[in-house]
Amino acid sequence: MLRAILVDDEDLSVRMLESIVDWRRYGVEITATARSGKDALRLFSELRPELMVTDIRMPGMDGIELLRCVKEMEPRTEFILVSAYADFEYAKEAIALGSAYYLLKPVDEFELERAIKKIADKIGAQQATQRLLESTHRQKELLTLYSYMRTGAGKAAAQKSAGRLSVCFEQYALIGFMLNESSMNAYIENSFQLDTQLPYLQARLEEQLRCWCDCLLFDFFDASWCAVLLNAGVSLLDCAEALVAFFTQELHMEVHVCFTELEHGLETLPNSFNLLQRLNQYSFFLGEEVILGYGYNCERGEFDQVALAAARKAMENAIRESNPSKARKVLDEALSSLDHTTPSSLEFVYDFCYAGVKAVRESLPGSTKPELQEKLMKVTSQSVRNCATLDELRRFMEEVLEVLPGEEPAEHVYSQLVQDGMAYLQENYDRNLSLEEICSALGVSRNYFCYLFKKETGQNLWAYLTDNRLAKAKELLRTTQDKTYAIAYQVGYDNPSYFSKLFKKGTGMTPNEYRKADETK
C-alpha cells in the first residue's frame, strides 16, 4: 500500500478528502492528517509517505513552502495541491517544483480519483522498476558467489559480492534438493511444473527456507536446488524433514535432501559445495534414504566407503571389458576425490584397490603369459597395504592394470550395462516406464543404474528417453501425415499440448512448423 498524508487547516476539508473517494481501492492508505504545514513536515520526516495532499493557503508554512521542503528531503514524493483560488502563479510555481496535480475547491471526486490513480500507477511502475533493478543486481551477486562456490576461482570477487549482499559466512551450512523421478510420467509432470511455474517454485522454496534462518537460494540447475543456510543455529535434520514435507504436500514433487555440516568462513565454501555434490551424486546409490546429511546418517569417513562402492563396480566393469584406460580413469577419480584423513578411510582405499587386483586376475584369459599370471598371483592384500603413499598406490595399481589384454575400446563406448539400458529405453520409448521395471529387466539395482547412467552419458535416463521420443516424433512428422495429437500418443505423451511445447523447446519449432520446413526442402 502507498502511504498518504492529508494537510489542511480546516477540519471539514480534511474529513471531506478522507471520505470523498475510496483510497484503498487505488492502493493508498491515509497514514496521518495535519492542520498546518509545519505539522505536516514533521509527520513527513517521521513517516516518509509517497503522497502528500495539501491545501495551499495555510497560516505559517503554506502548501508551496511545504512542497519545496519535502522535495528537498525526498524528490520522488508526489503532491496533489488543493486551493480555493484559481491562482495561475501558484499553479506555475507548483509545476516548477514537481507537482503536476492542482485541484480547485470544492474538490471534484472524479478529478481527485483520476489524480490518485495516475499517481498510484506512476509510483507502482517506479517501484516495479526498482524491484527489477534490485533483483538483477542481487542475481549478479548470487552468480558471482555461485561461480566461486563451484570452481573455487574468484575469491576476491565473491567477498565483494557477499559484502554487497550483506551476508556473513561466519557459520553456515549447505543444503541441496534433488528431484527424485521414479517414472517417465513423474519426469513429465515435474518438467511441466518447472517450465510453467519455476519463479513461483523458487519463491515458495525461499519462503520456506527463511522460516528456519536467513539464506541464499541459487537458481535451479541440473535437476536440483542449492542453498546456503546462514548463521544456521537450527536443526538441519528438522529443516530437511520439513522441506521434504513441503515438496511432497504442496508442490507434489519427490526430492532427496542433502546437507553438509556447519562450516566457517567464505574460503571453505568451494570444499563444502564439493562435499554436497558428492552427497547428491550418491544419494540414489545409497538406497531409499530421502535425507542424507553429514553428522546425521553419514560421516565423511563412512562416505568414502559409499563412494568407493560405486567406483569399485565401475572399475570391475571396465576390467571385465578389457578397457584399461577406463579402469585407470575410475581409479584416478576415486583416489583424487576421497578424504584420506582417518585410518578407516585408508582401509576403504586399500580394499577398493585389492578388489581391482582380484578383478584383473579373474579377467585374464588362458593365453596370458605364465610369468604375468605368476606375478599377479603373488599380489596379496598386504602387498597393497605396503604402499605408503597415494602416489605409490596409484603407480602400483597402474602396473597391475597394464596386464589387461585386448585393444582398448574408443572412449565414447558405454559400459555394457548402460548400453543394455539404452536399448531397453529405445524399444519401449512409447510407454510410461518406471525405474523399477527398467532395472528389473536389466537385473540391477535402481540406485546403481541411475548413478552409472548419469555418470557415463551426462544426462539422466528420462532426459535420454525424451530425446528418443522427440527423434521418433520427427521421423513420424517427416514420413506420415498423422495429426500432431496422434503422433504425441504414438511416442508416449497423453497430453498433446505438453508434447507440442516440449517439441518446440527442443527444436525451436512447433510440430507443424517442423513438418512444413521439411516439406519445403
369-381 tens-digit pLDDT: 777 777 788 888 8
Three-state SS for 252-309 is CCCEEEEECCCECCHHHHHHHHHHHHHHHHHHHHHCCCCEEEECCCECHHHHHHHHHH
| Domain co-membership, 121 together with 204 | no
Q: What is the mean pLDDT of the chain?
A: 85
Q: Is the peptide bond before 106 cis (omega within 30 degrees of 0)?
A: yes
Question: Looking at residues 219-237, what average pLDDT do you find?
Answer: 88
Is the pTM value of this prediction over 0.75?
A: no
Nearest to 228 by CA among 160, 298, 155, 167: 167
CATH number for the domain harbouring residue 504: 1.10.10.60
Q: Which residue has the higher pLDDT, 164 or 334?
A: 164
Nearest to 461 by CA among 493, 418, 504: 418
The helix (H) or strand (E) run that includes residue 31 is strand 28-34
| Domain co-membership, 373 together with 273 | no
Q: Which residues face 6 on adjacent strands? A: 33, 53
Confirm whether 96 is domain-assigned.
yes
Question: Looking at residues 258-262, what average pLDDT do you find?
Answer: 91
Confidence label for 340 from pLDDT (cuts 50, 70 and 90): very low
Question: Looking at residues 182-206, what average pLDDT do you find?
Answer: 88
170-174, 194-198, 325-329, range with the lowest pLDDT: 325-329
Domain that holds residue 39: 2-126
Q: Tally Cβ neighbours within 10 Å of residue 160.
A: 13
Give the cell for residue 507. 527444436
| Domain co-membership, 66 together with 103 | yes
Q: Is 487 exposed, middle or buried (0-12, 13-18, 19+ CB in 10 A)?
A: buried
| Domain co-membership, 238 together with 282 | yes
Give the model confidence (pLDDT) of 64-89 as tens digits.
899 889 989 998 899 998 887 666 66
Confidence label for 505 from pLDDT (cuts 50, 70 and 90): confident
User: 66, 98, 126 — which closes off a domain?
Assistant: 126
Confirm whether 150 is domain-assigned.
no
The helix (H) or strand (E) run that includes residue 498 is helix 496-507
Given a cut of 70, whether residue 237 has pLDDT beyond it is yes
| Domain co-membership, 284 together with 306 | no
| Domain co-membership, 373 together with 432 | no
Contact 53, 4 (CB under 8 A): yes
The helix (H) or strand (E) run that includes residue 177 is strand 172-179
Burial 78-105 (b: 16+ CB within 10 A, else e): bbbbbbeeeeeebbebbeebebebbbee
Confidence label for 167 from pLDDT (cuts 50, 70 and 90): very high
- To the nearest 10 degrees (0 to 180), the angle between helices 324-337 and 343-363 is 180
Give the model confidence (pLDDT) of 431-489 as tens digits.
989 988 998 999 887 777 887 788 788 888 899 999 999 999 999 999 999 999 999 99
User: 268, 291, 314 — which closes off a domain?
Assistant: 291
Using CA of residue 485, residue 490, residue 494, residue 498, what is the dihedral sign?
negative
| Domain co-membership, 247 together with 276 | yes
Q: pLDDT > 70: what percent of the chain?
A: 90
The single-letter DSSP state of residue 221 is B
Q: Which residue has the higher pLDDT, 19 or 445?
A: 19
Question: Looking at residues 275-283, what average pLDDT do you find?
Answer: 76
User: 126, 142, 158 — which closes off a domain?
Assistant: 126
| Domain co-membership, 483 together with 510 | yes
pLDDT of residue 487: 93
Nearest to 432 by CA among 187, 223, 253: 187
Q: pLDDT > 90: what percent of the chain?
A: 38
Contact 417, 461 (CB under 8 A): no
Confidence label for 406 from pLDDT (cuts 50, 70 and 90): low
pLDDT of residue 304: 62
**Given the C-alpha cell 524399444, which residue does it identify?**
427
505: CB partners within 8 A, 6+ apart: 195
Contact 200, 192 (CB under 8 A): no
Given a cut of 60, whether residue 428 has pLDDT beyond it is yes
pLDDT of residue 521: 67
| Domain co-membership, 259 together with 344 | no
Among 254-263, 275-284, 397-406, top mean pLDDT goes to 254-263
Rounded to whole angstroms, the Cα distance separating 79 from 100 reads 8
Give the cell for residue 221. 540447475
| Domain co-membership, 260 together with 312 | no
Tally of domains within the chain: 4
pLDDT of residue 136: 82
Rounded to whole angstroms, the Cα distance separating 253 from 270 reads 28
Using CA of residue 343, residue 338, residue 275, residue 143, what is the dihedral sign?
positive
pLDDT of residue 408: 47
Among 129-133, 205-209, 325-329, 502-506, top mean pLDDT goes to 205-209
| Domain co-membership, 459 together with 394 | no
| Domain co-membership, 94 together with 15 | yes
Give the cell for residue 78. 508526489
Among 58-62, 125-129, 162-166, 388-392, top mean pLDDT goes to 162-166
Given a cut of 90, whether residue 414 has pLDDT beyond it is no
